[in-house]
Amino acid sequence: MGDEFIIAALVYVIACLGLVLYLQKQLGKLRSKVEALTVLVKEGDRQRESFKREMQELRSGTIGMGRRVIELEKRLHQQSERIEESTQQDPQAKLYTRAMKMVALGAGVDELIKECELPKAEAELLIRLHRK
């Protein structure tokens, strides 16, 4: 019975050694996979940070462009108001505006001279410029 016990113990030890070797091999494979996943996670973090910086740059650019558009709209509005004020204040501008409308409706040189009190040369020039 002593020999059987020794044989059983040897079989048990060999089985345990085989199991340990198998588990070490599996552990090595798992470590390799963990290392590969760690590399992938680090690359993903790097890309995420890069995208985050790009998005921040885009936001900053968009905000800057929005401010510039608002400023340009203000300037345009101011210019429109100034033009409107100057046309309302300048009686000559009203005469020329009226003369251009008359030319567009087909008025002749004599009509412009009479209705808008323009010199003949200016009336002829307006007709040439605005009938094209």
d(CA 114, CA 95): 12
Tokens 């020794």 correspond to 6
How many domains does the structure of the chain reveal? 1
Q: Tell me what the mean pLDDT of segment 87-114 comes to.
A: 79
pLDDT tens digits, one per residue of 26-60: 999 999 999 999 999 999 999 999 999 999 999 98
Nearest alpha-carbon partner for 87 in 97, 102, 77: 97
The mean pLDDT of 71-97, rounded to a whole number, is 79
Domain with 96, as residue range(s), is 89-131
Residue 28 inside a domain? The answer is: no
Q: Tell me how many degrees the CA angle 72-78-84 measures, rounded to the nearest 5.
A: 135
40, part of any domain: no
Residue 45 lies inside a defined structural domain of this protein:
no
Asked if the structure places residue 52 within a domain, the reply is no
**Domain-embedded: residue 12:** no
* Residue 80 is assigned to a structural domain of this protein: no
Please name the residue that has the structure tokens 């760690």: 38
Q: How far is CA 58 from CA 48, 49, 53, 120, in A?
A: 15, 14, 9, 60
Give the pLDDT of residue 90: 61
